[in-house]
Amino acid sequence: MSTHSASSVKQSSTGVARHNYIRLLSQNYPVRFLVPAGFILLVFFFIPTILNFVLAFTNWSAYNPNISFNGFDNFISLFKNGMLLRDLRTTLIFAVCVAFFQNVFGLFLAVFLEEDTFANRLARVLFFIPVLMSALAVGYVWQAILQPNGALNQLLGGLLGHTVKTAWLGSTTWTIVLVSAIQGWKWAGLAMIIYLAGLKTIDSEVLEAAAIDGANGFQMFWKIKFPLLAPAVTFNVATSLLGSMNGFDTIQAMTNGGPGGSTEIFNLYVWRTFGQGTYAQSTTMSLILFLVVMIMAVPVITYLRKREEKIL
């Protein structure tokens, strides 16, 4: 058989195999099953995202009956307003703090509850419950606890023997850190699950070899386990950092941006602006936040992936 004939037979067999695979795929996974999910994605994600890019360049508001393009006027007026940059800075501080607390809490829980015992499995379930709870509900509960006459001060007063009236949410410097810690606590259960999955993939023979070489628990964690958790670290840091940039619920419930605007993150500002009827400006701010998150996502994920490849 000539080379040309053999090549033709090979291409023909490859085409038949591809056709059979596509037919089998369409039989097992009919495309019509994608229609409901695709419709929801189109209506609630793609169309609003496209409209966000369009309406940001208009004068759309509750006080204007006609919508017309006004170029970059919304962007110019927003950047002249000092609150935009202030809230962006607050959002970045909030996101970094949440990423720190969420990963520290989650990693600690994963290491502490790594062994598969009944007590540890029960504890994992209990620590995962806050993840399933409404962020608004968590915020309102903690807001009640941290009030000057709340449960925490009453508990401290009982232990110290005198009345405690500490305003835990009254500091313009530390309230954002406290709220970030609570947000990190809420999502620590999710980070714990990811870190636990990473710990389960570590080869036991590697740990046994390290133990034979005389490594103690601390050395075994920092020299072996933590480096091998690089994929889990990449996922948890990226999702917690970038996800916190879109935070809203917890801060709205706990502080509503106070005291003195020190916890007013960007989405809270967008929500207030939209509520005032200046729809185009709030849309412009949403677009700015979207671009900021995209600009942050590329270097953060690239750095974490390179770190992961370097370690592994």
Burial class for 284, CB neighbours closer than 10 Å (0-12, 13-18, 19+): buried
Q: What is the pTM of this model?
A: 0.85
Could you tell me if 73 and 159 are in contact, meaning their C-beta atoms sit under 8 angstroms apart? no
- Structure tokens belonging to residue 8: 């033709």
> pLDDT per residue over 171-186, tens digit each?
999 999 999 999 999 9
Q: Kindly report the number of other CB atoms within 10 A of residue 195's CB atom.
A: 27
- At residue 65, the pLDDT reads 78
Bond before 259 cis per omega within 30 degrees:
yes
- At residue 85, the pLDDT reads 87
One digit per residue, the tens of pLDDT, for the chain of length 312 reads 444 554 554 455 565 566 665 665 556 566 677 788 889 999 998 998 888 889 899 988 888 778 889 888 988 888 888 788 899 999 999 999 999 999 999 999 999 999 989 999 999 999 999 999 999 999 999 999 999 999 999 999 988 888 888 899 999 999 999 999 999 999 999 999 999 999 998 888 888 888 888 888 888 888 888 988 999 999 999 999 999 998 899 999 999 998 988 999 999 999 998 888 889 989 999 889 988 998 999 999 999 888 888 876
